[in-house]
Amino acid sequence: MAKKKFVVGCFDDEEVLFPAVSKVRTAGYKIHDVYTPFAVHGLDHALGLRETSLHTAGFIYGVTGTTTALSCISWIFTKDWPLNIGGKPHFALPAWIPITFELTVLFAAVGMVLTFCYISQLAPFVKKHHFHARSTDDLFVMVIECTDKTNAEDLQAFLASNGAVETDIQIAEEGWWLGRYDKDEMRFENKQIVAA
């Protein structure tokens, strides 16, 4: 995980942010990410991100739950130990619907949340570089990755002309590591860090 150079532009209004995003993208810069204090609808499209497939994963987990419940219960009550309950049929599908439903929901919900945390690299003790502390408060922080050809100062001026209230240049790690927020960056694998 190498360190990279980023140009950071902070916006204080989403109405200014949207035109700025499209201008920056038209100008050919690669937007690393935009950090926002709340879900700004349409920003994912503006950034050209594809739709998430999380709900599809949820569907698959749900189907897994349904099949798990039905197959387990029917195996138990018809093959493993066919218990005689008041002379009623061993294969009592209507009576299994509640548990089947509950397991469908349980599998879907738990699976989706775990998948969400996994693909977004969210877990306790995980630390990431934060480009601006106010990005969880009231600033919309646009982060642009620099290449060899990027003139960072020009880019800063470009962002400012598009309404950024604050700009700066940061050299940062883009991944995550195990760390605490009350300490300075305590990198998990210190050796591999190479300044870009």
Residue 1 touching other proteins (CB under 8 A):
no
Position 186, amino acid: M
Q: Which of residues 51-90 bind other proteins (CB under 8 A)?
A: 51-52, 54-55, 58, 62, 72-73, 76-77, 80-81, 83, 85, 88
Interatomic CA distance for residues 102 and 166, integer angstroms: 50
Q: Which of residues 151-170 bind other proteins (CB under 8 A)?
A: none
Residue 134 touching other proteins (CB under 8 A):
yes
Q: Are strands 30-35 and 140-145 parallel, antiparallel or unpaired?
A: antiparallel
Q: To the nearest whole angstrom, how small is the minimum distance from the Cβ of residue 184 to other proteins?
A: 12
Residue from 101, 168, 189, 196 in contact with other proteins (CB under 8 A): 101
Q: What is the largest CA-CA distance in the chain?
A: 83
Residue 25 touching other proteins (CB under 8 A):
no
Residue 4 touching other proteins (CB under 8 A):
no
CA of 51: how far to CAs of 33, 48, 164, in Å? 15, 9, 27
Residue 38 touching other proteins (CB under 8 A):
yes
